[in-house]
Amino acid sequence: MTLRRIALAVLVLVAILAGLAGFYLREPPASADSIERIPAYQNEALLARAWVLPVARLYGPQGYLFQQNQSVCGPTSIADVMRSEGFAADTAAMLSRSDSLQIFGFLPFGLTLDEEARLLERDNGEYTSFPKPNVCNALPTKEEVFALSEIASAANGRTIVDLPSGVGFCLFITRECLDSVGYLSEAYSRGYLEDVDYCLSASAIGFRNVCATGVYVGHAGNRSFESEKRGLVVRNLAILNERFPDYERECSAFVEADPLKSARANLEERLAPEGPVVLLLASVASGGALALERARQIEGKGDDLHCIYCEVHDRNDRMTLKSVRGSAPQSLTFALNEGADLARLHAYLVHAQPEAVEVIAPYALPDPALRVARALEIPIRFALGDLDWLCDRDFVFAKSCPKGDRPGECHACVGSARPTARPSENGHADDRLRTRRLMVKAESIAPMDRMAAAFCAASLNSTTLPVSAPPHARTADTVKVRPGRMTLGVLCPEAAAEPDRQILASERLLDEQMIEASVIVLGLCLNEIGLMSKRRIFVTGVIAEDEYERVLRQYRTTHLFSPYRTRHFGLVDRLSAAIGLPKGYFDWSFGALDREPGDLALDPRICFESAARQIGAWITNRPIDVGDSASPLIVISDHRRVDADQPSA
């Protein structure tokens, strides 16, 4: 017995030593900043070649970002991407279906990025999916399937579009093709992709793979092999790539070109959106993030309202209609400078019978978009979520301290109420006037959070009903944290220069004052690589709404902070109440919103450095010098009324 115990102990020791040796002798990973500096990274030709590889095709153009989870690796990344696209994804299910070796939830050998991309591609539907291509859309009822097929026939007739390959669940093969190609290949055994192999073999001898856009067929996927699917796909995909090495490149080109978009749009234009509709009109650049937040608020009320985002493109020349819940429409795009398209847009919106239009960031909207909204002759509301929409362009909130020797220690930035406008913006001084005029004509103002409600109540002269902030009580249990170590969770739902600069200023302050604290950025940054090169900062990437609380607990967050000067208060307010953490924010109500115990309310006019000093004092529980935070007296008058039924945080 003693010898057995000794032998077992020796084996365990050898295993531990082997593991340690493997860890220390492994090839060290290259840091992100070093990769960015290497000559190959600057080679445009190499980069162009890289973007057509499988992983880049799925992760690069759509802007997917890395989100860390150390336990399940690849399957978690796939789940994150699917959540970013708005589809439910169960990480545990992803892990259970992976054919890689698993030990207590870990993948010792991991997954290559190409394997992740292939698994994601096969899980995300087909080229011909509707209304969203390449994803698993909800299966309609039997009656709805027949109705959709009739509408597709009327909309697209006998039009066909060439595909890289057919889709096996509904594939019509001519007798001539069957005689020429023969039977399905037996190289794949049981599983998937033999249909793709057959189509590629047919294409190689001159036949065409086409989609009949006038036919709609319902398909309930993942029924044949269920949990075995991913393992079978991985195995068979390797065989397919060996037999047809150009197939993935052809798929990439097809997805990028999306030749089926017009067929989907033809079908959508004849469909009425489901349920009562509210239109959200916003520019993707100036109000896109807040439009999605407003949709979350409206659809979260439980009134079955269906939000359709009327997304004005960056160049203000087109508008795309997108159902926020993922149903139709998804592919309807109209030119705003063409009369025929504007007439079609108006006809579709009339057919949709919206109950109201909510305008977001009106200063950035082109006149044709606003005329379309007015022509519907339905209530127009102004969704207020950003003070910057009201202020003149020469009123700059975010700025660096001019005192180079002792930055952030004075309050000169608060005293300079009207900095000089940037030269490139002098020609657009009247765009905020557009917002004020819309407020006068709007039926009501819908504050998007408690900050906006407090600002409206204090600063807007209402002729009928002023807004009062909704009650807001903490009910969550406070997160337990490790003593002595602070973790600042910075909420960044929208990439912008302003939060990046504030995060860097805060990191410098923590270093200068040797404060033991980490900074976890939850969301998006413009310069993610630059931020993560700092020793204290980690950027998670995109986080789904229902994942915030879990991630905050995972990183032992002790304080929440919103780095935006004039917007996005609702997110930090909501999470602070839900998880029981103190919050820091810029108070653009200028004191009208009551500060809750333990919170940090910053004057939005102070410089980055002064804000960083106050953040450092806050997380270390030291006295804070706030200086003079008097209101800049922004007053808008003569609007109809302010909507008292604004969403609570």
Q: What is the tens place of the pLDDT at every residue in 327-372? A: 999 999 999 999 999 999 999 999 999 999 999 999 889 999 999 9
Report which of 382, 346, 376, 342 is spatially closest to residue 362, judged by C-alpha positions.
382
Question: Model confidence over 561-603: pLDDT tens digits?
Answer: 999 999 999 999 999 999 999 999 999 999 999 999 999 999 9
Q: Do 457 and 496 reside in the same domain of the chain?
A: no
Where helices occur in 157-279 by DSSP H, the ranges are: 175-181, 194-204, 229-243, 247-257, 261-269
Q: Which residue has the higher pLDDT, 110 or 638?
A: 110
Structure tokens at 559: 């304080």
> Model confidence over 268-313: pLDDT tens digits?
999 989 889 999 999 998 899 999 999 999 998 878 899 999 999 9
Q: What is the longest distance spanned by two Cα atoms in the chain?
A: 92
Same-domain pairing of 282 and 260: no
* Domain shared by 185 and 241, yes or no: yes
Q: How confident is the model at residue 205 (pLDDT cuts 50, 70, 90)?
A: very high
Containing domain of residue 239, as a range?
142-265
Examine residue 434 and state whether it is found in any structural domain, yes or no: yes
Find the range with the poorest average confidence among 247-251, 273-277, 622-626. Answer: 622-626
Amino acid identity of 578?
A: A
Regarding whether 166 and 241 lie in a shared domain, the answer is yes
pLDDT(523) > 80: yes
In a shared domain, residues 287 and 252: no
The answer to whether the bond into 466 is cis (omega within 30° of 0) is no
Residue 20 confidence (pLDDT): 59
pLDDT at residue 29 in the model:
46
Are 395 and 425 in contact, with CB atoms under 8 Å apart?
no
| Three-state DSSP state, 279 | strand
Question: How are strands ordered across the β-sheet holding 380-384?
Answer: 332-335, 318-323, 306-312, 277-283, 354-359, 380-384, 444-447
Instruction: Identify the pLDDT of residue 270.
Output: 95
What pLDDT, on a 0 to 100 scale, did the predictor assign at position 420? 36
Give the model's pLDDT for residue 50: 61
Residue 645 belongs to some domain of the structure = no
Give φ, ψ of 258 to 5 degrees: 50, 60
Q: What is the DSSP letter of 211?
A: E
Does one domain contain both 259 and 277? Answer: no
Are residues 237 and 99 part of one domain? no
Q: Is residue 613 part of a domain?
A: yes
pLDDT at 197: 93
More confident call, 81 vs 271: 271
Q: What's the pLDDT score for residue 65? A: 41
Identify whether residues 524 and 394 lie together within a single domain. Answer: no
The last residue of a domain, from among 427, 462, 497: 462
pLDDT band at 411 (very low <50, low <70, confident <90, very high): low
Number of compact structural domains in the chain: 4
In this predicted structure, what is the pLDDT of residue 88?
43
Residue 598: its pLDDT value, please?
94
Q: For residues 321 and 449, state if they share a domain.
A: yes
Q: Are residues 257 and 288 both part of a single domain?
A: no
Q: Is the same domain home to 305 and 226?
A: no
- Residue 646: its pLDDT value, please? 46
Mean residue pLDDT of the chain comes to: 78
Same domain, 605 and 540: yes
Q: For 362, which DSSP code? A: G
**Bond into 131 cis (ω within 30):** yes
Answer yes or no: is 639 within a domain: no
Global pTM reads 0.73
CA 30, 35, 38, 44 dihedral sign is positive
Task: Residue 515: give its domain's CATH number.
Answer: 3.40.50.2000
Within-domain flag for 1: no
Residue 415 has pLDDT above 70, yes or no: no
Q: 637 pLDDT exceeds 70? A: no
Q: What is the per-residue DSSP string for 170-194?
A: S----HHHHHHH-SPPSTT-SSS-H
Q: How high is the pLDDT of residue 543?
A: 85
Extended strands (E) in 428-510: 444-447, 460-462, 486-492
More confident residue, 418 or 438: 438
Centre a 10 Å sphere on the Cβ of residue 116 and count the other Cβ atoms it contains.
23
Residue 137 in domain? no
Q: Which residue matches tokens 């390797």? A: 238
pLDDT tens string 1-41: 577 777 777 777 777 766 655 555 544 444 444 445 555 55
3-class secondary-structure state, position 326: coil
Q: Is residue 528 part of a domain?
A: yes
For residue 388, give Cα distances in angstroms to 179, 423, 646. Answer: 68, 18, 19
> Tell me, what's the pLDDT at 285?
87
Is it the case that residue 120 has pLDDT exceeding 90? Answer: no
**Residue 575 domain-assigned (yes or no):** yes
Q: 201-206: which pairs have CB atoms within 8 A and are 24 or more residues apart? A: 202/177, 203/165, 205/180, 205/181
